Each structure stands twice: as C-alpha cells, then as structure tokens.
Amino acid sequence: MGAGAAQAASRRMAIAEGSGGRCFAFDGHGRIPLDTFLAEVRGVAAGLPEAACAVNLCEDRYRFLVAFCAVALRGQINLLPPSRTPAAIDDVRRQYPDSYCISDVRLSPAPPRLHALPERLPKLDGPRPEVDAGALAMIGFTSGSTGTPGANPKTWGSLRRSTAQNAAVLRHFWPDGGATEATLPIIATVPPQHMYGMELSVLLPLLANAAVHGGRPFFPDDVARALREAHGEALLVTTPVHLRALVESGIDLPRPSGIVTATAPLPQALAAAAEQRFGCEVRELFGSTETCVIATRRTARDDLWQLLPDVRLQPQPDGTLVQAAHLPAPVMLADLVELRPEGRFLLCGRQADLLEIAGKRASLGDLTRRLLAVPGVLDGVMLQLDPCEVTGVRRIAALAVAPGMDETAILDALRQSIDPLFLPRRLRLVDALPRNETGKLPRAALLPLLR
C-alpha cells in the first residue's frame, strides 16, 4: 500500500464500534443486536434519494439512528433543525436547497421532497459501514433561545473524540464502573436532533459499549416503563424540566445507575431532591451545540464545574474562549466564567444577562431563580425587553405560571428579595411557558406573551 493509500485508509472509521452481537438498542419488544441495526442501515441507505443533505426528522430514536447512519453511508450530511415546526424546516431547507426530508411519522403539512421510512425497515447484507473521519456527519442548529439559530457542522472524527471524552467522564455509571465488557443501557427523554441528545443517546451507543432505548419517553409513567424495559440499572438522560416532573410525580422508578441532565440550569435543591428520591447520583453537563459537552459537576454537592480532559477555557471581556482537542478551532461562548485551580470554574452567567441600572447590577439568571423561589410559582422567567424607541430604556419583564395567584402577590413576594430597580415592570400570568422539546425558552416565543 502506498503512502497516499495508507493515509486515506487511516482516515476511515467504522460507523459503529463493538461486536456484531452486542446489544445496540432495546424496547418493550426486546433487544436489537448491532448486526441487525447495521443491516437495516444498509437497507435504508440503498433506497435514499440523491442529494447532498437530509433533514432528519425521525421521532423514534432507533429509526433516527438508522436514518442518521444511512444518510452518512450515502455520503450525505444530516441536517438537524432546532425543532420540527414547518418554519424551522423551511429555514434549514432554504439554507441547504439540495436536501430532502426523512421521517418515520406522517407530517402535516408534509415538507417538500419527503422520504418516509417504511414500517418494516429493509435489510441488506454487506461489510461493516465505514465513513471518512474528515467528512461532515451533521450540521446542528442552536435553539434560538438567545437569537437566530446558527449552523454548527461536525465531522465524524470530531464526534468520535468528543464521545470518547463523554464515555470516560461517565464511566462510573457503567456496570462495575466499566471494569467489565457489560453494556450500559440508556434511557433518554431528549430528542436526538438536539446536540445533547445526539451526544448521549446517539453517539454513545454508536461509539461506546452502550445500548439505547428506541423510544423517547416523555411523561413519568413512560420513563418508568422504559427503565423497567432495560432489565437492569440504566442511565437516565434528561432535562431539569423532566427531572422536576419525575420528582413531583411521586412515581416509583426502578433505580437508575445515574441521571444526567443539561439544556438549562439545574437548581441545587432539585438535584438534591432527585438524588434522595431515586437513590443515585445526578450529574449536570455543561456544553453547547458549538462545543459539545465540555464540563460536568455533581450539582447537589458542587457549585464549581470540572472541565473534561483536554478542554481549556480563556476568559474574555464578553465571554469565554473554548479550546479542545475535538474542536477544529477555538469557539467563543457568551458565558462568563471565573477560573479556579485544577480545571475547575464558576459559571457567572452571560454578558447579555447582566443588567446595570443606576449603578446597581443584577443578572437575569439570578432574577429568574428568585421568581421561581416564590411559593406558588410553578414556572417562570425574567427577560429584558427590546429598547424603547423613544427613551432607549430596556425594561425588565416576567412571565409566571402560578395558579391561584395574581400579579400583585408575586410582586409583593419579589420585593422581599429583589432591589426595586430590578422588579419587572411588566408581569404576565400564563397557563404554561412555551418551552421547546428540551425545556428551553426561545425569545421569539416569549415576546408575544408579553404584548
């Protein structure tokens, strides 16, 4: 083999690791070995349309995985919109016109060039699928919680490196702490299109010794059923919104091997309540679509975050520069941090969240926490409105879910802990906040509720 051929071969990587007989996925119907999964990947790939990209809209997690790998096997790029709304799909397709949509459910209205997966997935024999480590596996889009969704391309090689780090930092959740070849079952409530769901429920099963539940349990009863179907302690991958629902439901869950959460700040009291309630460690992950997971902490005990190996932070006046082995170039985050020894740091919020009025300072994150601490407030958020066209002043507003309360009672309670300068000038009671599938609150969905 010549030098060029050897270099090309070294850039090839298997699309999935492990023995063909290992459990790759499971549900109430039983186990699916890796060989069966790969046969269905080859079968689906053979029937895909010709295009540069595919908008992966599959809801069933197993079928999403089949489609994700089939698209890659055809040399195409997976596009993962921030939601499955027609507007979000149309926006992605405008940016990538040489694309089609692939789905496992009927969509209404159906997007153009929709490729529907058959109820019975086809199988095709062949060698284990490989991909070029330098090829783009996916383009993920930010949620839009702080503005316009942005595109973030990821290569197979970078995803492999970041997945190895995730597996290492979560190794203690594996059976016997990872000392044996036992498989870690994973139950996830987050959609696979979200970067956090991608990392923990798609890439870990593909590139580590893990098996994922094929569905996406949503309600507490669904989560309990999925944990029972694991037939052993499973890792629960969830969000603070889902975790609170589980704690408050009073439901009996089979004991998880651990719980990981991300997408929004996890209150320390909720983390402690969940650890006591379910008898396992709750681990919070910190990252972004741009960076993938870069830090972790046990929130019930720690205020400080611990960086993953090979990740470095460099504070900037308006954010933080992230350098990591899996990133092709440094990434600027809007988050402000204070560095501490031994790779630890304190998260101080975002520059855009910091408020200064009449020489006094506060942060929207802290104001939101104080709103949520008001007895009777089930959910809520503080935000700063756009500048007034006449005065240029940016007012503070709030939305709250508080059945049986009125605005006056909430404001009276807030006066006990918030400087009058930072009290919301506009407070609206709503039946529910417009949280997306991962619990985030897109600004564009909040503003109409305040008008």
Helices (H), 283-363: none
Residues whose CB falls within 8 Å of the CB of residue 2, separated by 6 or more in sequence, listed in order: none
- 401 token code pair: 């879910």
CB 288 within 8 A of CB 140: no
Residues whose CB falls within 8 Å of the CB of residue 219, separated by 6 or more in sequence, listed in order: 245
Q: How far is CA 107 from the centre of its chain?
A: 23
Residue 27 β-bridge partners: 30
pLDDT at 435 (0 to 100): 86
- Torsional class of 274: left (φ above 0), alpha (ψ -120 to 50), beta (otherwise): alpha
**Within 13 Å of residue 60, how many CA atoms lie on the same side as its CB?**
18
- 82 token code pair: 């921030």
CA–CA distance, 243 with 300 (Å, rounded to integer): 14
Owner of token pair 């046969």: 39
pLDDT at 130 (0 to 100): 95
Per-residue pLDDT of the chain (451 residues; tens, 9 = 90+): 334 433 434 589 999 999 999 999 999 899 999 999 999 999 999 999 999 999 999 999 999 999 999 999 999 999 998 877 888 888 899 999 999 999 998 877 888 899 999 999 999 999 999 999 999 999 998 765 444 557 899 999 999 999 999 999 999 999 887 666 789 999 999 999 999 999 999 999 999 999 999 988 989 999 999 999 998 899 999 999 899 999 999 899 999 999 999 988 898 989 999 999 999 999 999 999 999 999 999 999 999 999 999 999 999 988 999 999 999 999 999 888 999 999 999 998 776 677 767 666 778 888 888 898 899 998 899 988 877 655 556 788 999 999 999 999 999 999 988 888 889 989 999 999 988 777 788 888 888 888 7
pTM for the whole thing? Answer: 0.84
Domains along the sequence of the chain with CATH? 17-349 (3.40.50.12780), 358-450 (3.30.300.30)
Number of CB atoms found within 10 A of residue 237's CB? 27
Residues whose CB falls within 8 Å of the CB of residue 450, separated by 6 or more in sequence, listed in order: 385, 397, 399, 426, 428
pLDDT at 373 (0 to 100): 86
Q: How far is CA 353 from the centre of its chain?
A: 21
Burial 117-127, CB ≥16 within 10 A → b, else e? beeebeeeeee
Q: What are phi and psi of 166, to 5 degrees?
A: -60, -45
- 442 token code pair: 């897109």
pLDDT at 99 (0 to 100): 96
CA distances from 286 to 127, 264, 306 (A): 37, 9, 9
The 8 Å CB, 24+ separation contacts for 293-297 are 293/162, 293/165, 293/166, 293/196, 293/199, 293/262, 294/322, 294/324, 295/345, 296/169
**Within 13 Å of residue 436, how many CA atoms lie on the same side as its CB?**
23
- 301 token code pair: 């005990």
What one-character DSSP code corresponds to residue 146?
Answer: T
Angle, in degrees to the nearest 10, between helices 407-414 and 364-372: 120
pLDDT at 263 (0 to 100): 87
pLDDT at 410 (0 to 100): 93
What one-character DSSP code corresponds to residue 254?
Answer: P
